[in-house]
Chain A
Amino acid sequence: MSSVTEQRAPTGDAIVCRGLVKRYADVVAVAGIDLNVRRGECFGLLGPNGAGKTTTIEILEGLKTPDEGEILLLGRAWGKGRDRELREAIGIALQETEIAERLTVEEIVRLFRSLYAKGRGIDETIRLVDLEPKRKTPFLKLSGGQRQRLALACALVGHPEILFLDEPTTGLDPQARHRMWEVVTEFKAKGGTVLLTTHYMDEAARLCDRLAIIDHGKIIAAGTPKALVADLQADQIIEFEPTAAFAADGLATLPGVHAASRKDGHYVLRVQRMGLALPALLAAVEKGGAGIKALATHEPTLEDVFVHLTGRALRDD
């Protein structure tokens, strides 16, 4: 584990951390995490519920102190008497916050703006997150998506260099999610750095330049979404369910198949050449004395990467 110091901070890296560990009474929430987030990129922490994403991001935000490990944000460390300077430079949306119930959108944005020495205009910020029609609406009467966008506005109003978003679209309908994505994309296009957590693989694939897949407090894979999927060495995934149990030992060696695994009653094949693999599979199943009850193919996704790495699905819902 290499150490980071203020002097040796790699220029260009917005966030560097080494060996983060956070223990709670009965669980190790973060079990040794190293990250390098470059300036101007969107970096994602992808993992299931309870993986340690929130704990990690809140340690980086300086809201929780780690038991072990070192952090540099924009070349500076927390707790060295310059925290307020750092806070000026970052914007944060927590996983869930209920902001002052009876204040309106405009009043809340104005309040948060007043907390920063410099920042965006109130109107500009509200426009940025597309909440103009709701300016005078009290927080209590906003929908989930509008609340999330207001939280984003509060994160953006200080004109941050780094934006931290903890599950920014959890629980939102598709339209609301797309609007969030647009705002984040626009922020990034103007040179901002984003660190976000999510348990949606499509969100990670869509927004993130690079990501780290987290499980049980550890990074189990990292890279660009493309590279992570490419590591599966598969053009297609076949999932099928046989009508009856059959001897399936030979599946992985079928022509055109890279690997096979079994997951409660159905099989997942990572396939390089579908034209060879599919007929061979059908023949093998028939030979094994079973039929096909259900079969589907799809292009490999981050979900398949997670399933491959952990044997579990990313989402439990």
Chain B
Amino acid sequence: MTETRAALTEMTLARMKEFYREPGAVFWAFGFPVLLAVALGIAFRNRPPDPARVGVATASDVLWLQAALATPEIKVVLTGTPAEVEAAAREGKVDLVVSVAAGRALSYRYDADNSAGHLARLVVDNALQRAAGRLDALESADQTVHEPGSRYIDYLMPGIIGMNVMGSSMWGIGYTIVWERKKRLLKRLVATPMRRSSYLLSYLLSRLIFLIVEVAALLLFAYFVFDVTIQGSLFGVAVVALLGLLGFSGLSLLVASRVQSIEAVTGWMNLAMLPMWLLSGSFFSYERFPEIIHPLVRLLPLTAINDGLRAIMSRGAALSAVVPEMVVLALWAVLSFLVALKIFRWE
């Protein structure tokens, strides 16, 4: 090994060693986002539509009816007296009650406010009418597709990556700076010929290396476990993630620029991130919030990275389509760096 290396290299290496020797930090950077993706991915996974749950209320034994309802789209939960079937409907065990009066007169009973009931009525009526000999007036053919990038997990993964870039930049930089200031290591370093720019750059470089590893790990995980593929270019993902890193690093530096205690920086960090956790659409689209706040929400760096990554990963957008998001991130980076450097407390 060479005896001495450039200060920037040495400081970057030191930061990386400190990071991976801290088991807690490694878990929050890698384990936690993966766990989150697994939990949400399983809870909200897409499934084929459930069969319509039907209760048949009939006094007599109607074999033709049983036969007509024997399709995968329909599940006859029970057949019984009207009272029995009504009870099952009230308990929510069936979506639709089919009653057959004498002869072939049918009646359907279902909850007008429940879409499952409406759906069940359509499916059941269709099946019964056909069985009774109705002929379709028009010919039709079904073509089903699986749109890539349209599942919830496809929506979720860019959000998890965005959250991860935010969390690891904010904590990895801001928290560590305040720790070093409090323990007077910052002061000790300033007492050497170290260039202050090297100090700050060492954070960016070490974060960049971790960012590559973290994002790659999440993408691979998403691909192998949930079959999430990148519709656009990997390069585009890298560019947006890098801009995100710069934006959050600037924000983090700003938050940490004057704070003296760990407690205070923890509070400020959470305060800075809380609006983004709520509003930036990591887990659910911010379209649900009132229209009027959307422009503001889009100015948040987490929204910008989420939207940018989502456009590229799920919709296959080109980089040119996410210029507004990239501009937002770049502005956060430049403005917060400038302000932070102005007010930064080195002692």
Residues of A within 8 A of B (CB): 61-64, 84-85, 87-88, 92, 94, 96-103, 107, 110-117, 121-122, 138, 154, 158
Which residues from chain B contact A85 at a C-beta distance below 8 Å?
193
B21 within 8 A of A: yes
Measuring CB to CB, which residues of chain B are less than 8 angstroms from any residue of chain A? 3-7, 9-11, 14, 17-18, 21-22, 183-185, 187-195, 347
Chain B residues contacting A98 (CB-CB under 8 Å) are 183-185
Expressed in whole angstroms, the minimum distance between the Cβ of A304 and any Cβ of chain B is 35
B192 in contact with A158 (CB, 8 Å): yes
CB neighbours (8 Å) of B192 from chain A are 87, 92, 112, 115-116, 158
Which of B18, B184, B191, B347 meets A100, CB within 8 Å?
B18
Contacts of B191 in A (CB 8 A): 61-63, 87, 92, 94
Determine the residue in chain B with the shortest Cβ distance to A95: B184
Residues in chain B near residue A64, CB distance under 8 A:
347
B22 close to A102 (CB less than 8 A): yes
Known: A63-B191, A113-B4, A115-B193. A102 touches B18 (CB 8 A): yes
- Bound Cα distance A48, B85 (Å): 92
A88:B193 contact, CB within 8 angstroms: yes
Q: Which of A61, A87, A114 contacts B11 (CB 8 A)?
A: A114
* Minimal beta-carbon separation of B258 from chain A (angstroms): 17
A110/B10 contact (C-beta < 8 A), A94-B188, A97-B183, A99-B188 known:
yes
Task: Tell me the complex Cα distance, A238–B143, Å.
Answer: 110
Tell me if B183 and A102 are in contact (CB < 8 A): no
B185 pairs with A87, CB closer than 8 A: no
Is there an interface contact between A107 and B14, defined as CB atoms closer than 8 Å? Answer: yes
CA distance A84 to B190 in the complex (A): 10
Nearest CB of chain A from residue B337's CB, rounded to whole Å: 22
Given A102-B22, A115-B193, A116-B192, 8 further pairs, Cβ under 8 A: A63-B191, A92-B188, A94-B184, A102-B21, A103-B18, A113-B4, A114-B5, A154-B188
> Nearest B residue to A85 by beta-carbon distance?
B193
Given contacts A100-B18, A121-B3, contact A111 B188 (CB under 8 A): no
Chain A residues with CB below 8 A from B188, complex form: 92, 94, 97, 99, 154
Distance (whole angstroms) from the CB of B176 to the closest CB of chain A:
10
Chain A residue at minimal CB-CB distance from B180: A100
Known contacts A114-B9, A122-B3: A87-B184 contact under CB 8 Å = no
B8 to chain A, nearest CB (A): 9
Give CA–CA (A122, B5) in the complex, Å: 12
- Interface residue from B4, B21, B183, B184 paired with A110 (Cβ < 8 Å): B4
Contacts of B183 in A (CB 8 A): 97-98
Chain A residues with CB under 8 Å of B184's CB are 94, 96-98
Bound-state CA distance A48–B185 (Å) is: 25
Q: What B residues does A121 contact at CB under 8 A?
A: 3
- From the candidates A63, A92, A99, A114, name the one contacting B7 in the complex (CB within 8 A): A114
A43 to chain B, nearest CB (A): 19
* Cα(A85)–Cα(B192), bound, Å: 10
With the chains together, A85 CA to B10 CA distance in Å? 21
Q: Which residues of A contact B347 (CB under 8 A)?
A: 63-64
Who on chain B is nearest to A122 by CB?
Answer: B3
Point out the residues of chain B lying under 8 angstroms from A63, CB to CB: 187, 190-191, 347
Q: Among B4, B11, B21, B185, which residue has its beta carbon within 8 angstroms of that of A99?
A: B185
Instruction: Find chain B residues with CB under 8 A from A158 CB.
Output: 192-193
Residues of A within 8 A of B22 (CB): 102
Q: What's the Cα separation between A113 and B193 when bound, in Å?
A: 10
Write the chain B residue with the least CB distance to A92. B191
**For residue B193, which residues in chain A have a CB less than 8 angstroms away from its CB?**
84-85, 87-88, 115-117, 158
On chain A, the residues within 8 Å of B5 by CB distance are 114
User: From A96, which residue of chain B is reached at the shortest CB distance?
Assistant: B184
A251 to chain B, nearest CB (A): 49
Q: Which of A63, A121, A122 has the most CB of B within 10 A?
A: A63
A140 CB to closest chain B CB (Å) equals 10
Closest B residue, CB atoms, query A110: B10
| Contact between A97 and B11, CB atoms less than 8 A apart | no
- In the assembled complex, which residues on chain B have CB atoms less than 8 Å from the CB atom of A111? 10-11, 14
User: Separation in Å of the A101 CB from the closest CB of chain B?
Assistant: 8
Q: Are A97 and B6 in contact (CB under 8 A)?
A: no
Residues of A within 8 A of B189 (CB): 115
Looking across the interface, which residue of chain B has its beta carbon closest to that of A154?
A: B188
Nearest-CB distance from B16 to chain A (Å)? Answer: 11
Q: Flag if A115 contacts B3 (CB, 8 Å).
A: no
Cβ contacts under 8 Å, A99 to chain B = 185, 188
Known: A92-B191, A116-B193. A107 touches B17 (CB 8 A): yes
Give which listed residue, A102, A114, A122, contacts B17 with CB less than 8 A. A102
